[in-house]
Amino acid sequence: MANAPEPKAYILGIEAYVPGKSTSGDGRALTKLSANENPLGTSAAALAALAQDREDAAAYPDPQASELRDAIAQLHHLDPARIVCGTGSDELLNLAAQGFAGVGDEVLFSRHSFAVYEIAARRCGAQPVIVPDRDFTADVDAMLEAVTERTKVVFLANPNNPTGTWLPPAEVRRLHEGLSPGVLLVLDEAYGEYVDPSHQQAGFDLAKTHANVLVTRTFSKIYGLAAERVGWATGAPGIIDVLNRIRGPFNVTQGGQKAAVAALSDQQFVAESREHNRRERQRLADALAALGNHGISAVPSEANFILVRFEGALSASAAQDAMSDAGYAVRHLPGQGLPDALRITVGRSEDMTRIIASLQGACRA
């Protein structure tokens, strides 16, 4: 008999998620450009809703998040019955894998995509299948080729983290069309609100019209509510039903629900955040392009961060040290196969000015 509880072997195959840092190697507090948070903070309306909610801490939250689902449905022209909320979209990504895949099944996703997909696959005993990408972008042909009889779930982050690349609607549709109806396609649009509104996005249309598409979104990014842990997903009733069966019954706090409703009502804050991001991301991209002769290049981004590659004399870790000396934490992802790259969140204007100066200085040194 075992003398201690034995964990599942497939659980021990999981490498725990490594969150973005907020301190330097020697323990100094750094400004975080490592977790893709909104540098403008949170809408004042959402903060006011949060402050009000503190008086009601003894009561359980609404288990159905009804008001929040209605508000989401209204903004995005969706059916509230086809929406489920989660403890961040992380919970929903995990539930999607757990609901539709298990031991003996495969969960497919692109190389250099969101680290939670592998954890979500392994958590339910499924085999993660990592498909090579092309130019740091999901390669639809390669993904379709990698599908087998055992494939049950396909994850696509669009825009993708950590690369920032975005797959246009025609490519997303082509991926969907190539999958059999028995495969669940999870379109993770955590950064969807950062995409230029003039671009069409395929996710919601596919989720409305097909039984095998789930779109996930979050209040953690442009809505500036990462601390509250609120995400949501929309898809066919059969998928939503499965997620409702296995989610935590009170998985979104009352404060989180109230704050998210208020945040949705402040679309001006969202538009300002998107515009700030577009402007500062462009300024950072231009500055990086000017350092091209030092082997530095930026992967084109539609998100609120840029993946920067260091292929010259200045290494990614030396650049990270320079930015740390300037007071900033950025993300180095050697564990995700990106030892030569850093992911830099688009911060406040003054942060971007200092980040650019520190990189220029490091190149001259």
C-beta of 110 vs 218, nearer to ligand PMP = 218
Residues near ligand PMP (CB under 6 A): 36, 88-90, 114, 157, 161, 188, 190, 218, 220, 226, 231
Give CA–CA dist 85/216, Å, rounded.
9
| Shortest Cβ 132–ligand PMP spacing (Å) | 19
* Structure tokens given for 207: 């989720």
| Shortest Cβ 355–ligand PMP spacing (Å) | 20
Q: How many other CB atoms are there within 10 angstroms of residue 97's CB atom?
A: 29
Give CA–CA dist 57/50, Å, rounded.
11
In this structure, are residues 33 and 308 in contact, taking their beta carbons and an 8 Å threshold? no
C-beta of 36 vs 151, nearer to ligand PMP = 36
C-beta of 223 vs 269, nearer to ligand PMP = 223
C-beta of 120 vs 314, nearer to ligand PMP = 120
C-beta of 22 vs 148, nearer to ligand PMP = 22
| Shortest Cβ 360–ligand PMP spacing (Å) | 28
| Shortest Cβ 89–ligand PMP spacing (Å) | 3
- The residue nearest ligand PMP at its CB is 88
In this structure, are residues 24 and 123 in contact, taking their beta carbons and an 8 Å threshold? no
Task: Tell which phi-psi region holds residue 112, choosing left (phi > 0), alpha (psi between -120 and 50) or beta.
Answer: left
| Shortest Cβ 3–ligand PMP spacing (Å) | 37
Give CA–CA dist 219/85, Å, rounded.
11
Counting Cα atoms < 13 Å in the Cβ hemisphere of 235 gives 26
C-beta of 85 vs 363, nearer to ligand PMP = 85
| Shortest Cβ 18–ligand PMP spacing (Å) | 11
C-beta of 190 vs 362, nearer to ligand PMP = 190
| Shortest Cβ 226–ligand PMP spacing (Å) | 5
Give CA–CA dist 38/345, Å, rounded.
9
Whole-angstrom CA distances from 99 to 87, 118, 184 are 16, 15, 10
Give 77-94 as a DSSP string: T--GGGEEEEEHHHHHHH
Whole-angstrom CA distances from 319 to 157, 314, 342, 362 are 27, 7, 8, 7
| Shortest Cβ 152–ligand PMP spacing (Å) | 19
Nearest to 256 by CA among 5, 56, 13: 56
* Structure tokens given for 116: 């939670």
C-beta of 230 vs 242, nearer to ligand PMP = 230
